[in-house]
A and B are shown apart, each in its own frame.
Chain A
Amino acid sequence: MKALRYSNVAWESIMANKMRSLLTMLGLIIGVASVLTTVGIGRGAALGVTKEIEGQGINTLVITPKTENVGDSSTLTAGDAAALADPRIHPEIHAVAPTNSTFMRVANGNQAIESQVTGATATYADIKNLKVERGRFFNAVEESSQQRVVVLSSLAAHDLFKNADPLGQSIRINNEPFTVVGILKKSSGDDSEAYFRPIYTPLEVAQNRLINTPRYRGDFVVSEITIQVTDRELISYAESQVEQTLRLRHDLNVNDKNDFHILNQARLLEIAGNIANMMTALLGSIGTVSLLVGGIGIMNIMLVSVTERTSEIGLRKALGAQDSDILLQFLIEALVLCALGSLIGIILSYSVSALLNGIPDFPFDIILEYWSLLLALAVGLFSGFVFGLYPAIRATRLDPIDALRYE
């Protein structure tokens, strides 16, 4: 086909003027590379944020008490937790973990710290995505038999034991002896650990021996109930179901405000996702402007090229080239240049992201997605067509006599 032969002609012309071709493509190369890299950074950052949130335990709701006035007693109880855990009422709920936390003095010999002691169920580690570094989390047997065992966060372990091995050692919480059965991994990205230096004991041990826990309607008050739903899709449904049950149990009237608060991790994730998408769109549109500038650069240099090759165009016309031949030649040349520029830009963006991803402490991975590659190629070709058309039309309008006279 003729177009194919013009591609050959275009390729020869590009290769015959390597420097000029490179300069022509430069704007586009930089444009494509910057679009892809910035969009890749946007995607990578979004995924990083998502991972962070998912790391806190995905498909969970966290219920905390909310009191109208300071000093009001909390109404969120272990009884609420038990009701929510009933699979006949709440089939959408997979697991329920009530906790009771308070700051307390924790000591190993004369090493003492203020630590947030959390009374928790054995399922808590799974629901909260807590990872054990050494040893294990306490189990259901230890929980029900109210054994005095404790799991330390990595910072608490470090503060209490420095470089010694805490496993199997005894520490004192509120002057009661507890045996260390596990040490958690240091949580990444979450800075709250440095403040709370949390440690975990079975809930009932904490309620009976450590924390002077008030009761509400006969049940122990809890400071937090974490709920895991069976399916991530059900999280909003679960949220409304939980709200209903609690309002009912707390005898709230239609006009009463909730005396609890439900934190929906999925909704947080959604918000973070929206922010990330906006960021990607912003970065992408900045990059698109540079693509546009690159396209104008192509038009500029194609116009120069038409002027420079006036005599060539005249010769081609004298030899019998039709206007359509000249138009096709220059248009295809612009398209080939743009395709080539886009490809080089794609390769460049791959190299840049490979380089950045190779940096060990780089906060997130740059993610190049195939659709953004195709988009870059399409935008490149489109700008080649748009910005190549005018110079090509200019070329066809040259009068062969003037063109031949031009030296």
Chain B
Amino acid sequence: MNMPFISRRAQPASITNFQLPATSSHPVAQAPSQAAVHSARPAASSAHRQAVIEIGQMTKTYQMGENQIHALRGVSLTIHSGEYVAIIGASGSGKSTLMNMIGLLDRPSSGAYYLQGVEVSGMDKSQLATLRNRQIGFVFQRFHLLPRTPAQRQVELPLFYAGLSNSEASQRAKEALTRVGLGERASHRPDELSGGQQQRVAIARALVTRPSLLLADEPTGALDSKTGEDVLHLFKELHQQGMTLVVVTHDMNVAKRADRIIMLSDGLIVKDEKRR
């Protein structure tokens, strides 16, 4: 697969963010390549954290028949590497639109968006697909697993699109499943897994490409409170390992786990507070 502007080797930031050894308490092995790349860069724990997301004056206007709907009306936002951010707001506040923008699933009407320091607003479909593959790990409310497909294959899927060899994809999918505590269930199909387990498979799938950003849309929305809690605990662990997390939710209990809460209303950021 041709990457139009960035090769995997040339963008170590995405790998660096995967795991910060300084804060890591998790016993997951670090691949040697990660360590090497990491040591070649300034420590991510230094005072100048790199911005993963920089959004400036972003607007999005939908045309619905005669009416124009202003879903975003000038949103500016910077999220740094290693942050755990919740985006909240009532339905219609624009938070879903913002999530689609951050996730490169949609294009803004105006404004700038830098992802890992690269301007992405002018990119074509194919470039965006490549960026989604490399930079962003998606976690959806309804898991979005393929039916009747074993967990291992689910997790290998993004690596398949990245053009990795079968053996490497298989190895990395195993690691990712182990990381979310499902190493023993790699051969299970979705209908053989509980909702919480399915969401953890989806999280493993999001992590397997070692993205710069984990983007979750109502990750506990389809789970009961107990398994929802497990997922949030896993997010906390990932955060402690240095992962950048953005969780879009309307549930205050979910939002409170984040370090920073951004509240949207009527297409604008009305509150942006760091909690710790």
Contact = CB atoms under 8 A, between A and B. Distances in A.
B161 A325 contact: yes
Interface stretch (A144-152, A266-274, A314-322): A314-322
Contacts of B166: 5
B130 A315 contact: no
A320 B105 contact: no
B129 A322 contact: yes
Contacts of B132: 317-320
Interface stretch (B133-141, B174-182, B243-251): B133-141
Interface string A317-344: 1111111010000000000000000000
A177 interface: no
A312 interface: yes
Interface stretch (B48-56, B144-152, B192-200): B144-152
Contacts of B160: 5
B192 to A, nearest CB: 14
B147 A318 contact: no
A325 B134 CA distance: 16
B140 A404 contact: yes
Contact of B157 (A16, A316, A322, A404): A316
A400 interface: yes
B161 A318 contact: no
B133 A400 contact: no
Interface residues of A, number: 20
A201 interface: no
B176 to A, nearest CB: 13
Contact of A322 (B126, B134, B147): B126
Contacts of B148: 16
A400 B103 CA distance: 11
A315 B161 CA distance: 12
A12 interface: yes
A319 B138 contact: yes
A401 B100 contact: yes
A318 B215 CA distance: 11
Contacts of A400: 105
Contact of B103 (A5, A16, A311, A318): A318
A359 to B, nearest CB: 43
A12 B153 CA distance: 11
A317 B129 CA distance: 7
A256 interface: no
A323 B132 CA distance: 13
Contacts of B130: 320, 322
Contacts of A5: 160, 166
A208 B161 CA distance: 98
A321 B144 contact: no
Contact of A319 (B106, B126, B147, B205): B205
Interface string A284-326: 0000000000000000000000000001101111111111010
Nearest to A12: B149
B133 A312 contact: no
A319 to B, nearest CB: 4
B125 interface: yes
Interface in B117-132: 125-126, 129-130, 132
B158 A319 contact: yes
Contacts of B125: 323
A16 B103 CA distance: 30
B142 interface: yes
A361 interface: no
Contact of A312 (B100, B146, B158): B146
B223 interface: no
Contacts of B147: 16, 312
Interface in B195-252: 205, 209
A341 to B, nearest CB: 21
Contact of B146 (A315, A322, A323): A315
Nearest to A15: B148
B126 A323 contact: yes
Contact of A407 (B142, B158, B162): B142
A17 B239 CA distance: 39
Contact of B134 (A12, A316, A320, A321): A320
Nearest to A400: B105
Interface string A394-407: 00000011001001
Contacts of A404: 105, 140, 144
Given A16-B149, A317-B129, A407-B142, A322 B161 contact: yes
Contacts of B162: 320
B149 A318 contact: no
**Residue in A5, A322, A325 whose Cβ sees the most chain B Cβ within 10 Å:** A322
A7 to B, nearest CB: 13
A148 B162 CA distance: 97
Nearest to B140: A404
A322 B106 CA distance: 15
A315 B144 contact: yes
A320 B161 contact: yes
**Residue in A12, A320, A322, A404 whose Cβ sees the most chain B Cβ within 10 Å:** A320
A323 B125 CA distance: 8
B146 A320 contact: no
B158 A320 contact: yes
Q: Which 6 A-B pairs have the closest CB atoms?
A: A320-B133, A16-B148, A319-B158, A320-B161, A315-B144, A320-B132
28 contacts: A5-B166, A12-B149, A12-B153, A16-B147, A16-B148, A16-B149, A316-B157, A317-B132, A318-B132, A318-B144, A319-B161, A319-B205, A320-B129, A320-B130, A320-B132, A320-B133, A320-B134, A320-B161, A320-B209, A321-B161, A322-B1, A322-B130, A323-B125, A323-B126, A401-B100, A401-B105, A401-B106, A407-B142
Interface of B: 1, 100, 103, 105-106, 125-126, 129-130, 132-134, 138, 140, 142, 144, 146-149, 153, 157-158, 160-162, 166, 205, 209
Interface of A: 5, 12, 16, 311-312, 314-323, 325, 400-401, 404, 407
Given A315-B140, A316-B157, A400-B105, 10 more contacts: A16-B148, A315-B146, A316-B161, A319-B138, A320-B129, A320-B132, A320-B133, A320-B134, A320-B209, A325-B161
